[in-house]
Amino acid sequence: MNIGFEAKRAYTNGTGLGHYSRTLVSSLATYYPDHEYFLFTPKHTNRFNADAFPNVHVVTPQRFPGSLLTSAWRSSWVKKDLKQLNIDIYHGLSHEIPVGMPATGIPSVVTIHDLIFERYPKQFKPIDVKIYRKKFSYACKNANRVIAISNQTKEDIMSFYGTSASKIDVCYQSCNPIFGVQVSAEEKQRVKELYKLPDQFYLYVGSVIERKNLLTICKALKITKQKNHIPLVVIGDGDYYKKTVTDYIRENGLEKDVIFLSDDPAIKEIPAYRSAADFPAIYQQAVCMIYPSIFEGFGIPVLEALFSAIPVITSNVSCLPEAAGDAGLYVDPYNEAQMADAMQQVIENRALRNELIEKGLVHAQQFTQEKCAASVMEVYKKVS
């Protein structure tokens, strides 16, 4: 089959949507090499190296006006390219499919990662909520199949858009396989020196936005500081909510206890930081991953931590119990005292720590690239 993808975020997004796109395409190309994969993107960058796969082809708008109005090309005009390239199935990797897709006769699949803007609209600009709702609901109504990346997302699609359960397939995502590779002591030391990492540290990875709940970790850190001085390393950035967090840090004397790697201009320019190639070496030196999000579509940093063989402290809400399974140390994300207690347990209780690591490695095997690619390929078979 010739399988086409709306692949903008594979080339322009450095976080969750981008990682999902790159990992899925790589997995499909590796485990199902008999098919040809076409990535339709308005912009070609070095975030994804399609040259590593002989059966992956990049398609950008070449003709006027698509070459100028790339947004219109991606959302509608791309249909001409799909027909010319004899695409058998089109997969919108992040929430949308071209307008008028059913008229092409080409079966389509769309992945819906989350409907957070529906649950927490006040955390988004009103115009963005309207745009997202129009695109997401259109895709759910007009795609032949809808992929939800968790049961939580499936329930939300059904609830908000009235999509039939029979049309939705839950296909869990995987993460970059580099997280499952043990990093050498020499490499860890190199990364430690490069990023100026402390000897021990808690780790938070994710955008610094209200929903991700970094502030509660800082409040817990203030409590644990009475017993130990293990700092928190943050991989991620933000704007207005980050200011709320940094104000709290300053007011409570935690400036040396919370390290924002992205605040260092030199670090932000390191290619292996931008591509996340150095992240496994950072993860594997952490005491644990702390991911107390209020709501997620899946929570990929949890999976990255499990593959990295470090304990995970995460929320007991949303889909996070799906992501961490029996390997998570769960907390009420609004309760900093409970979170501080979990942080202390990971430090002081070696038996618990080892148990979480062992369970994590077992649970992670449900999310291998091969299994995740197989589940998506089954969806393709339903519509082909």
Write the single-letter amino acid at 181: V
Q: Which residues contact 155 (CB under 8 A, 6 or more apart)?
A: none
Exposed, middle or buried by CB within 10 Å (0-12, 13-18, 19+), for 216?
buried
Give Cα separations from 58 to 10, 199, 223, 310, 377 (angstroms). Answer: 11, 43, 51, 36, 20
Q: What is the pLDDT of residue 297?
A: 80
Is the Cβ–Cβ distance between 334 and 382 less than 8 Å?
no
Q: What is the pLDDT of residue 197?
A: 97
Q: What is the largest CA-CA distance in the chain?
A: 66
pLDDT means over runs of 10, the chain (384 residues) = 91 77 93 95 83 90 72 84 94 94 95 92 91 96 96 94 96 89 96 96 94 95 88 93 95 95 92 90 97 88 95 92 92 95 95 96 92 96 92
Q: What is the pLDDT of residue 255?
A: 94
**Locate tokens 């293990």: which residue?**
230
Architecture of domain 177-366: 3-Layer(aba) Sandwich (3.40)
Is the Cβ–Cβ distance between 108 and 82 less than 8 Å?
no
Is the Cβ–Cβ distance between 184 and 178 less than 8 Å?
no
Q: What is the pLDDT of residue 66?
A: 62
Is the Cβ–Cβ distance between 11 and 41 less than 8 Å?
yes
Q: What is the pLDDT of residue 68?
A: 66
| Angstrom distance (rounded) from CA 56 to CA 33 | 9
Reported pTM: 0.86
| Angstrom distance (rounded) from CA 372 to CA 279 | 22
Q: How far out from the chain centre does Cα 81 lie?
A: 29
Identical fold between 2-174+368-383 and 177-366:
yes
| Angstrom distance (rounded) from CA 223 to CA 234 | 18
- Residue 39: phi and psi, rounded to 5, are -100, 110
Give Cα separations from 319 to 28, 364, 368 (angstroms). Answer: 25, 15, 18
- Helices (H), ranges, 7-125: 8-12, 16-31, 70-72, 78-84, 116-119
CA angle 92, 97, 100 (to 5 degrees): 150
Q: How far out from the chain centre does Cα 15 lie?
A: 6
Q: Where are the domains of the chain?
A: 2-174+368-383, 177-366
Whether residue 321 has a cis bond before it, omega within 30° of 0:
no
CATH of domain 2-174+368-383: 3.40.50.2000
